[in-house]
Amino acid sequence: MCALNIQPELQTQQSMQAVVNDFALMVATKNGSGSQTSNEVLIRSLFRMGIPVSAKNLFPSNIKGLPTWYTIRASKDSYIARRETTEIGVVMNQDTAAEDIANLPSGGVCIIPADWKWGQSRPDITYYEIPVKETVAKSEIPSEFRDRISNMVYVGVCAYLFNMPLDIVRKALLDTFNGKEKPTAMNFGVIQNAYDWASANVTKADPFRFETLNLTEGKILITGNEAAALGALFGGITIAAWYPITPSTSMIDGILDHKHIRKDPVTGKDTVAIVQAEDELSAIGMIIGAGWAGARALTSTSGPGISLMAEFTGLAYYAEIPCVIWDITRMGPSTGLPTRTSQGDLLFIHILGHGDTRQIVLLPGSVEECFEFGWRGFDIAEQFQTPVFVMSDLDLGMNIWMSDQFSYPDQPLNRGKVLTNKEKLEAFMESHGGEWYRYRDYDGDGITYRTIPGVDHTRAAYFTRGTGHTDMGTYSERGDDWMKGLGRITDKINSTRNQLPQPVTDWDKDKTIGILSFGSNDPAIVEARNILAAQGIQTNYMRVRALPLADSVHEFIQTHNRVYVLENNFDGQLAQLVRMETDKSTQHMTSLALGDTLPMTAHWIVSEITKRETH
């Protein structure tokens, strides 16, 4: 079974009327063959042509040899969700070729190496057989680069077939090689030769073409993990502790790549320490120790790592220690599908830790929000003195997204109620009857004052423990102390509902159908709502951005006749959470949970909703 689950009927192109800037291209190769570079050149070329573009890399959990599919979508309407159908197939992997060709829609295009002598079994598609080996041979490439560079042949052919100006392709190539001329020149030689071959030998027989637009002006191309890394750097991260795991690794790599923006301007020394821990048990311990000592610290991981962090995050919750944990989710349970996307950790991280815990979870739905929650996560953690989880996913984190440029933080750093020196502690005590106790609720908001180690005052110290404690921080096994302490924490967390990033809504009180969702499903929902509207199904939309759920979520559900809860997991976890929290009827709420290992598509949403809305 091909992992792409293609359903060809939707986007079939039967006529020869030109299809401009509204189709998708799929490149099927073997992992580790170097196709990432050529695919990036294609994306960057379209981006430079001003055409809205998005890309999905469907790669195996393997270093070399297993099949990988890369889909690139151009959309004049600026839709950036995954598309189920790809009209163009660049078939470069013999292991999957039969299936890849079978999956093409009628009227589609198959670009395939000529030397395979594959045969043209489908009369309803256009074949272009391209001389990969000869083109590379002609380009006089040093033998060690030959295999990887052969992917540039399909770039050149596509440039010719679909009308991508070569000067733009060259610029895109230069971008991909970070401005390095030498590899650019070598690769461009192959592209040029392939282009020349195509112009001399190919008769175009398909309707697909790109045309320059101006819709990417001022935009950027970036992955969610890089955006999150930048956000963290603008949020004052000083310690990152981590253990490598797909799909979170590139977030830490992003911090490493960009931490120079935080170098001390005078000494050139770093203000960010990155520690590769021995495991996630240790990574979380390190950031809790750092947060306790007053630093802004984060870790980034995925499901298996989250499982290992459970005990420690319970401690940080109960002992009220700020720290930030990014969960770039992948398919679970267990090792699951390490390179496939999912939103399956939602409930687990919300209640992570044994006993009664309710962790704060932020849910970015775009790369812009990855950046924003990158810095805001620290503010929230320190404001409420608690761990903050940010749940991104493989799709958001690892794929390249087109986005508006990120906005500079609109608020100064919020360090919370922290007494960082003797003077602050003294001033506090002076205005509080001469006392300060770590867990005493002086302001009635459930948030108490903390000192950090090193405050040079005889009363600054307190003892941090995960065992029962009084509001003075002393050990206690008394039930009333326990209830008072945990009760305050529970109230504190509850109070965040309407203070955390609130849901984004498109809510017109006249419409009676609601869509509730979160995270990276957003682009597919945006597209689906337009398709539904064109079919006469008008919907409202609420995208949740944090747990615990804002009160408006329940209001949204109660004020609609029907609500569809869309999420990319198996169990419908957001819907479950809504039901857990409300005593009102949710009979009119339908859980549409996918969990098919791929990013959600508008097609799936439209078909699920129309099925229920038209009888």
Partner 1 sequence: MANAIGLERADYKGAQSTLCPGCGHDSISNQIISAAYDLNLNMTQVIKFSGIGCSSKTPAYFLRGSHGFNAVHGRMPSVATGATLANSNLTAIGVSGDGDTGSIGFGQYKHLIRRNVPIVYIIENNGVYGLTKGQFSATSDEGAKLKYYGINDLPPIDLCLEAIVGGCTFVARSFSGDAKQVQTLIKAAVAHRGTAVLDIISPCVTFNNAPDSTKGYDYGKENEIPLHSIEYMPKGYVPAKDEITVEGDYEGTISVKMHDGSYIKLKAIDNNHDPRSREQAINLLEKGQRESLFLTGLIYYEEPRPTLGETMELVETPLAHLGDEALRPSAQTLAEVMKSFA
Amino acid (one-letter) located at 102:
A
Q: How far apart are the C-alpha atoms of 300 and 227, rounded to whole Å? A: 13
Q: How far apart are the C-alpha atoms of 612 and 498, rounded to whole Å? A: 32
| Closest CB 78 distance from partner 1, rounded Å | 17
Q: Report the residue number, 400 or 609, with the smaller CB distance to partner 1.
A: 400
Q: How far apart are the C-alpha atoms of 74 and 247, rounded to whole Å? A: 25
Which one among 147, 356, 475, 491 touches partner 1, defined by CB under 8 A? 475
| Closest CB 275 distance from partner 1, rounded Å | 7
Total number of residues that touch partner 1 (CB under 8 A): 72
Structure tokens at 392: 């991104």
- Segment contacting partner 1 by CB under 8 A, of 52-60, 126-134, 405-413, 528-536: 405-413
| Closest CB 233 distance from partner 1, rounded Å | 7
- Segment contacting partner 1 by CB under 8 A, of 127-135, 151-159, 267-275, 487-495: 267-275
Binding residues for partner 1 restricted to 498-537, rule: CB under 8 A: none
Nearest C-alpha neighbor of 246 from the set 299, 302, 284? 302
DSSP letter assigned to residue 604 = H
Q: Report the residue number, 209 or 422, with the smaller CB distance to partner 1.
A: 422
| Closest CB 288 distance from partner 1, rounded Å | 6
Nearest C-alpha neighbor of 407 from the set 183, 227, 143? 227
With binding defined as CB under 8 A, does residue 80 bind partner 1?
no
With binding defined as CB under 8 A, does residue 391 bind partner 1?
no
Binding residues for partner 1 restricted to 142-171, rule: CB under 8 A: none
Q: Report the residue number, 235 or 548, with the smaller CB distance to partner 1.
A: 235
Q: How far apart are the C-alpha atoms of 342 and 355, rounded to whole Å? A: 26
Site string for partner 1, 215-254 (x = CB under 8 A): ---xxxxx-------x--xxxx-xx-x-------------
With binding defined as CB under 8 A, does residue 478 bind partner 1?
no
Q: Report the residue number, 370 or 544, with the smaller CB distance to partner 1.
A: 370
With binding defined as CB under 8 A, does residue 116 bind partner 1?
no
SS3 41: helix
| Closest CB 122 distance from partner 1, rounded Å | 40
Site string for partner 1, 170-209 (x = CB under 8 A): ----------------------------------------
**Count of positions (residues) in the chain:** 615
Find the Cα–Cα–Cα–Cα dihedral 550, 555, 558, 559, rounded to 10°. Answer: -140
Binding residues for partner 1 restricted to 271-290, rule: CB under 8 A: 271, 273, 275, 277-279, 281-290
With binding defined as CB under 8 A, does residue 417 bind partner 1?
no
Q: How far apart are the C-alpha atoms of 546 and 404, rounded to whole Å? A: 22
Binding residues for partner 1 restricted to 295-314, rule: CB under 8 A: 295-297, 311-312
Amino acid (one-letter) located at 579:
R
With binding defined as CB under 8 A, does residue 424 bind partner 1?
no
| Closest CB 319 distance from partner 1, rounded Å | 8
Structure tokens at 370: 């990855």
With binding defined as CB under 8 A, does residue 612 bind partner 1?
no
| Closest CB 17 distance from partner 1, rounded Å | 34
Place of tokens 């001003």: 50
| Closest CB 405 distance from partner 1, rounded Å | 4
Residue 196 neighbours by CB under 8 Å, 6+ apart: 156
Sign of CA dihedral 160, 93, 53, 370: negative
Q: Report the residue number, 485 or 572, with the smaller CB distance to partner 1.
A: 485
Binding residues for partner 1 restricted to 314-373, rule: CB under 8 A: 315
Amino acid (one-letter) located at 299:
T
Q: How far apart are the C-alpha atoms of 571 and 18, rounded to whole Å? A: 43
Q: Report the residue number, 478 or 584, with the smaller CB distance to partner 1.
A: 478
With binding defined as CB under 8 A, does residue 416 bind partner 1?
no
| Closest CB 409 distance from partner 1, rounded Å | 7
DSSP letter assigned to residue 241 = E
Binding residues for partner 1 restricted to 428-467, rule: CB under 8 A: 451-458, 460-467
Which one among 18, 137, 205, 293 touches partner 1, defined by CB under 8 A? 293
Q: Report the residue number, 173 or 594, with the smaller CB distance to partner 1.
A: 173
- Segment contacting partner 1 by CB under 8 A, of 80-88, 162-170, 260-268, 324-332: 260-268
Q: Report the residue number, 133 or 263, with the smaller CB distance to partner 1.
A: 263
Q: How far apart are the C-alpha atoms of 491 and 39, rounded to whole Å? A: 50
Q: Report the residue number, 417 or 579, with the smaller CB distance to partner 1.
A: 417
Q: Please write down the long-range contacts of 142-149, taking CB distance under 8 Å and 24 or more positions apart.
A: 145/186, 147/33, 147/34, 148/33, 148/34, 148/37, 149/34, 149/186, 149/187, 149/190
| Closest CB 279 distance from partner 1, rounded Å | 7
DSSP letter assigned to residue 82 = B
- Strands 589-593 and 562-567, by their bridges, are parallel
| Closest CB 544 distance from partner 1, rounded Å | 27
Q: How far apart are the C-alpha atoms of 213 and 219, rounded to whole Å? A: 13
The answer to whether 127 and 120 have CB atoms below 8 angstroms apart is yes
The answer to whether 7 and 84 have CB atoms below 8 angstroms apart is yes
Q: Report the residue number, 263 or 432, with the smaller CB distance to partner 1.
A: 263
The answer to whether 486 and 511 have CB atoms below 8 angstroms apart is no
Q: How far apart are the C-alpha atoms of 54 and 179, rounded to whole Å? A: 22
| Closest CB 89 distance from partner 1, rounded Å | 29
| Closest CB 115 distance from partner 1, rounded Å | 38
How far CA 87 is from CA of 71, 199, 381, in Å, comes to 10, 21, 46
Binding residues for partner 1 restricted to 37-76, rule: CB under 8 A: none
Q: Report the residue number, 457 or 562, with the smaller CB distance to partner 1.
A: 457
Alpha-carbon radius of gyration of the chain = 27
DSSP letter assigned to residue 162 = H
Which one among 17, 143, 214, 267 touches partner 1, defined by CB under 8 A? 267
Which one among 264, 430, 510, 583 touches partner 1, defined by CB under 8 A? 264
